Structure 1
């Protein structure tokens, strides 16, 4: 059995009381696991036997730099032309099933915990193998050129092959599985896994320039989003705009883990002259 939560789909029964946890605010959005029903799935051109939950997309008042799909591909399904956006870079993280992935001429098999980075302009193909559906996260971002930098190379790994790095002064209660070197400035996004042991905390209000997307893979916690403390559990999703305060208390009894997106290593975009109106 996979250790990562995946949306079961279907619809809740008619006699269920609506929990009412979903929030869409100016500084953040919170999409609880109960929202991931069949009625809110989407389909993509070029993909066969596939449906997805599209949980973040660039739009006014929401995600500015990325999109995040939670994919379900039936056995034998997939795509030979996954994305017409040639400038997009991609991260895939497999939570269940078996994925046959081809990047350029190189072929790979990914199971639960499998992670792939695909740079912009790189042809790739994907098929679900085995008897069960393949489920994975797909995060897309337009790679931002910068002087002296070229896009990173493609790579495939599994989170079990990477030792988590403990945050300083946390006695190992808060650690991050980093799939790329933070000092490699070619990467303009990081997609990591953050793990809190029971009782672990973010003991201050993080307020910084990165936009965040957090999908809870395991466990539960109380998470601060802007001014609100929200109980979160496996299968919940949080989007935080830049500078939204955040903090966390991991609730146990097991580890609290989430897949984290953030934009990094680029200048802040400036608006053109006159964007703020005449000087006063």
Structure 2
């Protein structure tokens, strides 16, 4: 049975030590679960019954290609116009409760593990249809067109219905559940769930062009990031700049799993946009 960590806010007591694992560098950032408290939430116009933690946003020295929110939605809460940028595509991944998405008039209910891809320019609405507080990730990126490439359509899935792809020569201890097909060039971002069985490892320092956002859904691990060793656990978020060296050991008694964003399938911009 899959588990998905969902922040609940709150505030630590006055006796708690300040020491934590939060770190922000030019190459990577770690935003640990303990920082996601009531006083660091954000709100958006046009929504009811919602608050969110912004864990990535485009800015100098941080995320360049995407934003990522963890949204907490009360029963009955939602929005008739959640996306205000017609150029922005979106991906939603549900970690708690139940939401109803209506995309271009078609309604779909998503439970934990549920995923939705929302094309740029689509008309969509969202509502918490259940009796419990719902939690979901909302990833946004400007879709980049390319010659001869059509815009992808909206689609819905649940990770439990997708067979994981085992990485070569790993005996299945490192696998990826893919929501977008790697050979579908219409998509300029991939959102996947990566799973390591206990003891699984990335056995080399990946150093490559994709920017990464990783939210730990389950378990714990030790990550090597740009020469530093950092411990991460369920509820932590990591941002990795393009070419930041990365590797990890899954160090807990159970599985280590994370929701992964990366930008793919497009030319590298040369100089300023023109």
Query: What TM-score comes out, normalization by structure 1 length?
Result: 0.96
The aligned counterpart of 2:193 is 193
Q: Deviations over 1:192-234 (max 9, x none)?
A: 0000000000000000000000000000000111111101000
Measured at CA, do residues 48 and 2 of structure 1 come closer, stay the same or move farther in structure 2, by a change above 3 Å?
Answer: farther
The aligned counterpart of 1:263 is 263
The aligned counterpart of 1:276 is none
Q: Deviations over 1:11-55 (max 9, x none)?
A: 111111123210000100100000000000000011111000001
The answer on 1:178 being equivalent to 2:178 is yes
For 1:265 and 1:216, how far apart are their aligned partners in 2?
Answer: 25
The aligned counterpart of 2:206 is 206
Q: How many residues align?
A: 273
For 1:154 and 1:258, how far apart are their aligned partners in 2?
Answer: 23
Query: What TM-score comes out, normalization by structure 2 length?
Result: 0.98
Runs of at least 4 residues off by over 2 Å: none
Q: Secondary structure at the match of 1:206?
A: coil
The answer on 1:229 being equivalent to 2:229 is yes
Cα deviation, residue 272, structure 1: 5.1
The answer on 1:216 being equivalent to 2:216 is yes
Q: Matches of residues 128-207 of structure 1 in structure 2 within 5 Å?
A: 128-207=128-207
The aligned counterpart of 1:80 is 80
CA contact (8 A) 1:2 1:95 kept: no
For 2:32 and 2:183, how far apart are their aligned partners in 1?
Answer: 34
The aligned counterpart of 2:16 is 16
For 1:68 and 1:6, how far apart are their aligned partners in 2?
Answer: 14
Cα deviation, residue 252, structure 1: 2.1
The aligned counterpart of 1:47 is 47
Q: Secondary structure at the match of 1:95?
A: strand
Q: Secondary structure at the match of 1:203?
A: coil
Q: Secondary structure at the match of 2:215?
A: strand
For 1:151 and 1:9, how far apart are their aligned partners in 2?
Answer: 37
The aligned counterpart of 2:119 is 119
For 2:198 and 2:252, how far apart are their aligned partners in 1?
Answer: 4
